[in-house]
A and B are shown apart, each in its own frame.
Chain A
Amino acid sequence: MAAKVILDVVAGPVEGQTFAFDRHDTFLVGRHSNCHVCLPRDGYLSRHHFIVEANPPDARIRDLGSLNGTHVNGVKYGGRELHEKPEDAAARQYPQVDLKHGDQIVVGSTQIRVSIELPLSCCQCGNEIPESQQHEAEWMTGSYLCVSCRGTLTGRLRPVTTVVRPRCERCGKDVSAEVRNGRRGQYVCQACQTDLMAQEGGLRRLMQEAAGKPRDPAALRLDGYEIGEELGKGGMGVVYRAVRKAGGQPAAVKIMLARVAVSDSARKMFLREIDVSRQLVHPNIVALLESGAAGSAFYFVMEYCNRGSLHQWVNQQGGRLPLALAVPILMQCLDGLEHAHRQGFVHRDLKPQNILLDDRGGRFVAKVADFGLAKSFQGAGLSGMTATGGHGGTYHFMPREQLRDFKYVRPASDVWSMAAAFYRVLTGHYPRDFPPGRDPMEVVLNDEPVPIRHRDPEMPAAVAAVIDGALTSDPGKRCQTAGDLKAAFQQAVHGRPP
């Protein structure tokens, strides 16, 4: 039996997969299709996140300049700053970490357990001891004698009666039966490993007992549509790719689950509001095709945009866009937003995740999605008790007045959010700093945005003035509509009025 390095995926989207190496090989994990574990939809992972080099019985892991780092037994290795390119971070000398039996690798929700299997070999002659002889081959702690060498040595040597046996680091039990020949370092016995995993598993068992099986995309049904893969998820819902059965047109279906029991009146109120937004028809607004509800689940069938969100695209480009690429996208978004403002609509939740991109028909088109969806959901009391409606990170693009005054619903708030979205796209930073340990709500209430040229001194002064002006905390002192902001940008970028 040859030595083996075995990597078991014990949690995550590809849980249950096992990769075994009995010769020198590498193992790559990331979002790219050339990875051995390829998780294209896992936003935590970088394109090439980490690599394991297996040379049984040895193995080592190296982070490849990922954004979020790689955790081994709870210790983080690697990771890079938002503004750094992957190749810059990868060029840095991140340590290679030797892996041992029982180690746990964690990236996002994916957990991988390392097992190293060793053949037993004779400590005298070095030959591998066949499995049929292993039970009688133990000689002294951690060492084994084959039958042939035992016969030669017997009479000249006697086993030492007082031996130092390997012990579990956690409970102190003798683990010589578990530890293989040649293994060095700390070791936790199987019982303690099981106990530790049980502690982690207690929560999972509770969840499974409560909710049954995890989400199964194949179980989703919507009349008239074939539901496909998950395109993304946010604080309130999940978006799936779909195909209309009649005609074969692609679509995107967003499913939102209410977090409270839904009364008929709440359901009707919310759907009525959403239905009104179907009046918004513009090439730079994602069209809402259908909507409905079943119990506490709401669905929205929308126009499909094949390049995903601006957030995703910017991440693929390294975390920020040059001005020349960002400006056309911004102008298209402002066109769509201006149309909505003229119709009396306010978005209230603008962010790069809600700007979708499509390049069919030979043109790169930006479209604003989810007009009023989140806030209407919240306003109908369907989002439960959370201040941000459970949105992860929505406060990054939230103007102060939206937090201070729930009733404040004016286009000027969209101006702030759109400027914040493009501040992020252009610099890789949010307008406000959110240091760890500080309540983000307090940051929104107290802190002023950082002038954009502090993030990027190369930003043209005229453009910076428009963005900084749109991020003024006093809503009365900034552009009042998307049309005003568009005009200001055109003046700044092209030096001429629209």
Chain B
Amino acid sequence: MSGVFHAVLSDRGLVRTQNEDRWFADPGQQLYLVTDGMGGHLAGETAARAVAEILPQRLREWIEGCEDLAESARIEEALAAVSDLSREICQHSAEYPSLAGMGATLVLALIRGMQALVLHMGDSRAYLMRQGRLDCLTRDHTLVQLLVEHGALDAEEAAGHPARNQLTRYMGMADPPLPEARVVDLCPDDRLLLCSDGLSGMLDDAEIETVLRKAPDPQAACRRLVDAANAAGGKDNVTALIVVVKT
């Protein structure tokens, strides 16, 4: 019996009229993802569906043959599959006027044994909660993050920057996609949190850590995270997917 289980909650928030977040979880394959659509209602929802429905299908064969996550050639294959789908979404965006400009973020985790492969493009995040401490596993692909990394902005300036939500990478981007991947070693009782920026944009890391520390049950934790994001303003759709690794 697998020692990995998950819980997920996705909420429209208090401001948006539709939920353009999507998620996917396959306990059998231990594949989990969260995606946040953008580009206008129909376009955003369609892009998010494309990521949540098509990408797992494309990765199915790859996943079945994937035992060693650290093998670089295997990681390159996964990145290529993500890039290919991104390009196809971009092509369809050009072909259908009502889908013009569609795009979506992606954060994906695949677990094999006591390792996790985390792939992402955009500002949906992956966190690791271990022994009461929260670490962010991904860096946002946003203009502001880039400027902070290059010392052009400090954290305070970044928080109020007019471009703080502007993405530099996302599924469906016109430029060559550059998804990022990393392999993380896991320990028993580790929890992975995959979330859209509707969570990380409303709560800072310390607040998220506090919720997770106080709510070891993943279902309860998802509920509390979403409630906290809404209590902070709920300005965006919010999705929290927690994966618990027992053995």
- Which A residues are closer than 8 A to B by beta carbons? 109, 199, 202-204, 206-207, 210-212, 214-215, 233, 235-236, 257-261, 296, 383-388, 390-393, 395, 403-404, 406, 436-437, 439-442, 445-446
Closest A residue, CB atoms, query B152 = A404
Chain B, range 26-76, C-beta contacts under 8 Å to A: 38-43, 45-46, 49-50, 53-54, 57-58
Closest A residue, CB atoms, query B161 = A406
Q: How near does chain A come to B143, taking the closest CB pair, in angstroms?
A: 4
| Contact among A207, A259, A387, A442 with B39 in the assembled complex (CB-CB below 8 Å) | A259
B170 close to A (CB within 8 Å): yes
Cα separation A403 to B144 with both chains bound (whole Å): 10
Cα separation A72 to B189 with both chains bound (whole Å): 49
Closest A residue, CB atoms, query B176 = A436
B211 close to A (CB within 8 Å): no
B162 close to A (CB within 8 Å): yes
| Contact among A203, A215, A236, A442 with B88 in the assembled complex (CB-CB below 8 Å) | A203
B108 close to A (CB within 8 Å): no
Cα separation A258 to B146 with both chains bound (whole Å): 26
Cα separation A210 to B95 with both chains bound (whole Å): 13
**Consensus secondary structure, chain A interface:** loop
B13 close to A (CB within 8 Å): no
Closest 10 CB pairs of A and B: A392-B174, A259-B101, A211-B96, A210-B46, A387-B143, A387-B166, A257-B100, A259-B39, A207-B92, A387-B168
Is A384 in contact with B152, judged by CB distance below 8 angstroms?
no
Chain B, range 115-148, C-beta contacts under 8 Å to A: 142-143, 146-147
Is B40 in contact with A258, judged by CB distance below 8 angstroms?
yes
B91 close to A (CB within 8 Å): yes
Q: Which residues of chain A are within 8 angstroms of B54 by Cβ–Cβ distance?
A: 202-203, 206
Having A257-B101, A392-B175, A403-B143, one finds 16 other A-B pairs with CB under 8 Å, namely A207-B96, A210-B49, A210-B98, A211-B46, A211-B96, A212-B98, A215-B97, A235-B174, A236-B101, A384-B39, A386-B166, A387-B143, A387-B163, A393-B174, A404-B147, A439-B168
Cα separation A393 to B174 with both chains bound (whole Å): 8
Most buried by B among A233, A258, A383, A384: A384
Is B175 in contact with A393, judged by CB distance below 8 angstroms?
yes
Q: List 11 A-B contacts (CB under 8 A).
A: A203-B54, A206-B49, A210-B46, A210-B99, A257-B40, A259-B38, A259-B39, A383-B101, A395-B175, A440-B175, A445-B150
Cα separation A214 to B98 with both chains bound (whole Å): 9
Q: How near does chain A come to B198, taking the closest CB pair, in angstroms?
A: 13
Closest B residue, CB atoms, query A400 = B152
Interface residues of B, CB < 8 Å — how many? 49
| With A210-B46, A387-B167, A404-B152 as contacts: A445 and B101 at CB distance below 8 Å | no
Cα separation A488 to B245 with both chains bound (whole Å): 66
Q: How near does chain A come to B156, taking the closest CB pair, in angstroms?
A: 16
Q: How near does chain A come to B77, taking the closest CB pair, in angstroms?
A: 13
Q: Which residues of chain A are within 8 angstroms of B165 by Cβ–Cβ distance?
A: 385
Q: Which residues of chain B are within 8 angstroms of A404 by Cβ–Cβ distance?
A: 147, 152
Closest A residue, CB atoms, query B46 = A210
Is B169 in contact with A439, judged by CB distance below 8 angstroms?
yes
B103 close to A (CB within 8 Å): yes
| With A203-B88, A261-B40, A445-B150 as contacts: A233 and B94 at CB distance below 8 Å | yes
Is A386 in contact with B170, judged by CB distance below 8 angstroms?
yes
Is B168 in contact with A441, judged by CB distance below 8 angstroms?
yes
Is A384 in contact with B46, judged by CB distance below 8 angstroms?
no
Cα separation A212 to B99 with both chains bound (whole Å): 10
| With A211-B46, A261-B40, A384-B39 as contacts: A203 and B96 at CB distance below 8 Å | no
Is B173 in contact with A386, judged by CB distance below 8 angstroms?
yes
